[in-house]
Amino acid sequence: MSSSSKKFCSPEDIEKRNAETTINEKKEMQKYKKRILQCILAEKIMSMELKHWPFFHMLKPEFIRQIHMVMVYFWVFDKHEITKKWPIMSTPIRVSGFNKKRIVDIACGKHHFLVLTSDGEVYAWRNGNYMLDGNKNTAIFTGRVRQVKHELDKKNVVHIACGEKFNMVITDENKLYVWGSNKYGQISTIQSQKQYVYPCEITTFSDKIDKVVCGYAHTLALTNKGEIYAWGGNSCGQVGRNNKIKSSDPIVVNVRQMGKVLNVDAYGNMSVAVGYDRTIYVWGNYFDQKITQPFPTKFLRICDVFTHTMSIRMHKPLIVHDSVHTEGITNNYNYKYTEEILNILESLGAAFDDPLTSDLTIQVERQPIYVHQVILIIRCQYFRNMFYHDCTEDVQSTSDSSPVYIVSDKFSYIVYKAFLKYLYTGTIDLLSENSLELMELAELYCETDLKKDCSRIIKQTITVSNVAFLYNKAIEYNAKELEKYCFQFALRHMTANILSEDYLKLDMSTEIVHRELIQNDVTITSSTLLSPNKNVKKRNSQTTIKKNKMQKFEKRILQCVLVEKIIPIDLKYWLFFHMLNVGFIAQIHMVMVYDNSGNAVIIVMKDKNVYNLHYKKKHLKTGDTPTALKKIKELCGKNIKIFADRCNSILALTEEGEVYYCEKVKNPNSNEILYLSTFIRVAELSDKRIVDIACRELYILALTSDGEVYTWGNYWEKNDSQIGNENTAFNVPRQMKHKLEKKKVVHIACGLFFNIVVTDENTIYGWGYNGRNQISNVRSQTYYKHPHEIITISDEIVKVACGDSHTLALTCKGEVYAWGDNSRGQVGVNSNRKSSGPTVVNVPDMGKILDIAAYHFFSVAVGTDRIIYVWGEFYCNSYFTNKKRSCINIPFPTKFSNIHDVSVHSLQTSMFKPFIVLTNNFNNFNVKEILNILESLRAVFNDPCTSDLTIRVEERPIYVHKAILMIRCQYFKNMFQHDWIENIQSISDSVYTVSDKFSYVVYKAFLKYLYTGIIDLPAENALELMELADMYCETNLIKDCSQIIKKIITVSNVAFFYNKAIECNAKELEKFCLHFALRHMKAVILSEEYIKLDMNTKYNFIRRAAEEAAEEDIFKR
């Protein structure tokens, strides 16, 4: 190309292009944020967590939302070998032999089955060697059903349950009968009989039994008074007898904190109960411990307990319903329509400061803020009083009849605007330096929740020099939370605080109060661990409160549901999460689990305090309140950047480049960690600024700011090659030289027994163990004593990560290179699982890779659309050890929302890198405030006191608000803004009369949906509501109606609904009807409704059916 034909970009072109890029990036980020928040809400609004099982990640979100019940009967995962490794289940057949009895319950053990009929008879059959059917005749073929008689003859059985090899039944007289194996004392500890062929009576309960459940060799029975009786095998403490791991006869599990127990369950050697305040308790074999007394957790539901046991199958199905602990509890906050909730919040945010829909202008510093009176009224008591009482003199009318409210200059425009936006969205969109002024405004307007949110922001800015000033302001604004925090901060830095200038400026009364508190304080820092005495008192008081009990409970549940996922990592898998108060958890910045049992963790708080929580087994055996949360004083106040864990020690790196080191003191007999030694600074590196550290089993790497690598460690092999230097003193850091001398290293990583570094020339070096081709698959050398050049990549390498014996490298262009051991598919470049040299992981669906991670035998990547991909041995369990591996050969898309969640669900109990609780954009959402917004909208619907518009349907009024209708519905926005005003019959009365095409109940449900996102209507009216939604162009409501209609489709009406789906442009319902018809084609074509269809509809139906039949199965797409 000639120079004359070249086109050069002008500065204006560059600026325009950059602006367009910024806009596009913002749009993409907004889409991403909405997708993530949708996941945050939808993921946990389902009444159980399914991420633990691989099937969850294989199904479409719309399919998952419709799941009612799940039964995992086997668990092996291989994307390319599903048909080979998943067991093929035979066709279900109906079990005959019940003489036309109506079955009301079923139960099964390892090789036998029980059923209970409506008239109290028990039937059994077996498939094994045990006499578990209660009949003398042992010549019973598999599947042959016999009634259980003998002692049960003419008895009315009301409950049945099965252990692995024994049965429990309870009659209407509350008598307990048992038969089967007694190997572990699950039937009786008094008699030495090992097996009971016939049912025998064990005991009679004085109270009515509401439920009975069995584990492997133990049983729980729940009475109508909320007491739990437990008996049987107690090898893991599952019976709940403290300190004595012995079998027992029926005893009451007496834990006062639980109060009246609402529900129980059991599985394996574990027991579960729901306390009166809905706290979930577990005991027995859980958290890799033997818990001998009910232990309170933070699970929301019983089913959540079982999904976190890492079991490979379920012993009973998990039912997805709207209730939380029992079917009698309706959770009004368990929104199914999460997308519409997001739309409500998004619509409110978009309407803020929108002059087109605004009916009130607030003027601050002569700058306008456009708002809506109804939003201010329902969200703020101050404005409610202003508009309804005697404060309207501040509101001035303008020529265009739009009222203006002028605010005094006491508060700045940006702060007042942030305050109003908070009322719309529940978020604080303001710099931290303005938080104090916002808190003052919140105090003036009596917004308690906003003051708390401001306090949380201010906490992160507190220093020795300003704590006294902020303490004084906290008292002035009645911010109790901030006041207490400032006081505790001052206690920790008392000498420096008293000498500070701000302290000297305090008024005398504040100083005297401050000193008196110090002198009289004994327990100034309330324990962050669970205090039984305090909890008992609290729960006993709650027991006596009856009024509004369920409403408070339901709101608490949704609040927990949202809080759980707004914290971007799932910590429920580890025991420490359940030991800490919610307030303490919310302030966690970083966690590092350093014990294989998962019971020892270092916690870094947002206020830079660092704690070591080591929960020893004796606490679980005795049920004592743990006192194991101790400060690591050497690290408190430091800006901790990262931890690194190895078998015998832990390292900490600060942002300032300081490295601290401590030893794990272990029991030489059991290898159990007893305690951590004192953290000390690594003196040999004190003159260097360290920017990164890495370590695994026996060695450590440290990277300096000038690109030098220092290393030290222990011998693990006679020809140890980890250090890369000859004659090295391994406990002293030495600079790594040889091929790295005069090179500038920019990235470091450690595998199990090998090291990887990357230079600024994008050359990768490795040394150490090469038995799995971690370093080179060309040469047969087992060890590389010195750094060996692996590859030079043309693009800049931005990150490198190592698993046990494989490596990933991420380039600036989003390509991932992988090499090393591929026996579990963790390299992800071929299906034969052979080791590989550096090769690009080529999966087009991932696009440009944004981040990578490697753990043990699996790999993780974040695709360009933020989808998390995993490959290698991820979905695996020790059950398959030495039998068969469950591995993924190429990157597989999951529904995890971030990399951290992947590691949590990887079945690993310890970490070799810390989890940083990153602040994401959704942490700005005050969960309680979101609930308040939704609750406020629901409360004002059909409220004549606040309404400014009456919609009349079938001569009946529905009281609504113009602003909300305009914000939520384009139809109404057009109607009020343009030329539809003639539809309002009387401007003075503000009444809008709707034609009789739609019924009152349906139109009211439609309007309520705009306020709440909930369809409050029987299923039989869903079609009419869908027609109304089509008329008003409400696409999401059409989808939600489709979901309801799907549940009532039958062979006789599917053709009718298919036709209606086409009329209403309900694509999802149309497709569902088509697939349903395909599965029942003969019956559908012969049905009367199909015959009534017009010829054109029939033709389209047959054509579409033929097209669909030619495609793959619906669940494989």
- Encode pLDDT of 614-666 as tens digits: 876 555 544 444 456 889 999 998 999 999 988 888 999 999 999 999 998 88
Return the residue matching tokens 């003969």.
Answer: 1082
427 versus 6: which is more confidently predicted?
A: 427
Summarised one tens digit per residue, pLDDT across range 317-357 is 766 644 333 332 223 333 445 566 767 877 888 899 999 88
Structure tokens at 839: 């090769």
Q: What is the mean pLDDT of residues 122-139?
A: 54
- Top-ranked range on mean pLDDT: pick from 86-100, 895-909, 1102-1116: 895-909
**Cβ(869)–Cβ(889) below 8 Å:** no
Q: Of 741, 742, 694, which Cα lies nearest the Cα of 722?
A: 694
Task: Supply the pLDDT for residue 13.
Answer: 56
Q: What does each C-alpha distance from 1111 to 1104, 1107, 1115, 1117 come to in angstroms?
A: 11, 7, 11, 9
Parallel, antiparallel, or unpaired: how do β-strands 195-204 and 209-214 relate? unpaired
Task: Supply the pLDDT for residue 721.
Answer: 47
**Cβ(1043)–Cβ(1003) below 8 Å:** no
**Cβ(39)–Cβ(566) below 8 Å:** no
CA distance 358 to 967: 10
Q: Strands, E, within 963-1022: which ranges?
A: 984-986, 991-993
CA distance 868 to 137: 57
- Top-ranked range on mean pLDDT: pick from 123-137, 186-200, 245-259, 934-948: 934-948
DSSP per position, 478-545:
T-HHHHHHHHHHHHHTHHHHHTSHHHHTS-HHHHHHHHHHHHH-SS-S--SB--HHHHHHHHHHHHT-
Task: Supply the pLDDT for residue 885.
Answer: 52
837 versus 884: which is more confidently predicted?
A: 837
Instruction: Kindly give, in sequence order, each residue whose CB lies less than 8 Å from that of residue 839, ignoring residues fewer than 6 positions away.
Output: 817, 818, 819, 827, 829
CA angle (277, 281, 286) in 5-degree steps? 160
- What's the 3-state SS for 731-792? CCCEECCHHHCCCCEEEEEECCCEEEEEECCCEEEEEEECCCCCCCCCCCCCEEEEEEEEEE
Structure tokens at 885: 């591996």
Instruction: Kindly give, in sequence order, each residue whose CB lies less than 8 Å from that of residue 771, ignoring residues fewer than 6 positions away.
Output: 782, 805
When pLDDT is cut at 50, 70 and 90, the band that residue 1058 belongs to is: confident
Q: Containing H/E element for 421? A: helix 413-425
**Cβ(965)–Cβ(956) below 8 Å:** no
Return the residue matching tokens 């209403």.
Answer: 1064
Domain over 103-319 is classified CATH 3.40.50.10310: no
Q: What does each C-alpha distance from 127 to 110, 140, 146, 199, 747 come to in angstroms?
A: 9, 9, 13, 19, 59
Structure tokens at 996: 């009789």
* 169 burial via Cβ count (<10 Å: 0-12, 13-18, 19+): buried
**One-letter identity of residue 744:** K
Please, where are the H alpha helices in 521-663?
Answer: 532-543, 549-566, 575-579, 582-586, 617-622
pLDDT surpasses 60 at 1021:
yes
CA distance 899 to 637: 28
pLDDT surpasses 90 at 440:
yes
Parallel, antiparallel, or unpaired: how do β-strands 649-654 and 659-666 relate? antiparallel
Q: Tell me the backbone φ, ψ of residue 614, rounded to 5 degrees.
A: -120, 100
Structure tokens at 1044: 């309801």
Q: What does each C-alpha distance from 106 to 112, 150, 177 come to in angstroms?
A: 11, 20, 17
Q: Of 279, 277, 220, 229, which Cα lies nearest the Cα of 254?
A: 229
Task: Supply the pLDDT for residue 28.
Answer: 55
Task: Supply the pLDDT for residue 924.
Answer: 44
Q: Of 822, 831, 884, which Cα lies nearest the Cα of 858?
A: 822
139 versus 594: which is more confidently predicted?
A: 594
Task: Supply the pLDDT for residue 511.
Answer: 47
Q: Of 523, 630, 545, 530, which Cα lies nearest the Cα of 578?
A: 530
**One-letter identity of residue 998:** F
CA distance 552 to 542: 11
Structure tokens at 1062: 């086409």
Parallel, antiparallel, or unpaired: how do β-strands 360-364 and 404-406 relate? parallel
Instruction: Kindly give, in sequence order, each residue whose CB lies less than 8 Å from that of residue 1114, ignoring residues fewer than 6 positions away.
Output: 1075
CA distance 281 to 297: 6
Q: What does each C-alpha distance from 789 to 139, 482, 793, 926 come to in angstroms?
A: 71, 55, 12, 51
**Cβ(709)–Cβ(736) below 8 Å:** yes
CATH number among 1.10.10, 1.25.40, 1.20.58, 1.10.3470, domain 1049-1117:
1.25.40
Task: Supply the pLDDT for residue 47.
Answer: 42
When pLDDT is cut at 50, 70 and 90, the band that residue 251 belongs to is: confident
CA distance 420 to 475: 24
When pLDDT is cut at 50, 70 and 90, the band that residue 416 belongs to is: very high
Query: Comparing 328-342, 522-536, 699-713, 806-820, which segment has the lowest mean pLDDT?
Result: 522-536
pLDDT surpasses 90 at 1081:
no
Half-sphere exposure (Cβ direction) of 515: Cα atoms closer than 13 Å: 8
SS3 for 320?
coil
Instruction: Kindly give, in sequence order, each residue whose CB lies less than 8 Å from that of residue 388, ignoring residues fewer than 6 positions away.
Output: 377
Task: Supply the pLDDT for residue 79.
Answer: 40
Maximum Cα–Cα distance for the chain, whole Å? 105
User: 308: alpha, beta or left, given left = phi > 0 and alpha = psi -120 to 50?
Assistant: alpha
pTM score, whole prediction: 0.65
> Within its chain, how far is the Cα of 361 from the centroid?
40
List 709's β-bridge partners, or say none: 703
Task: Supply the pLDDT for residue 82.
Answer: 36
Domain residue limits, the chain: 103-319, 941-1026, 1049-1117
Q: What is the mean pLDDT of residues 27-55?
A: 53
Report the residue count for the chain: 1117
CATH superfamily of 941-1026: Potassium Channel Kv1.1; Chain A (3.30.710.10)
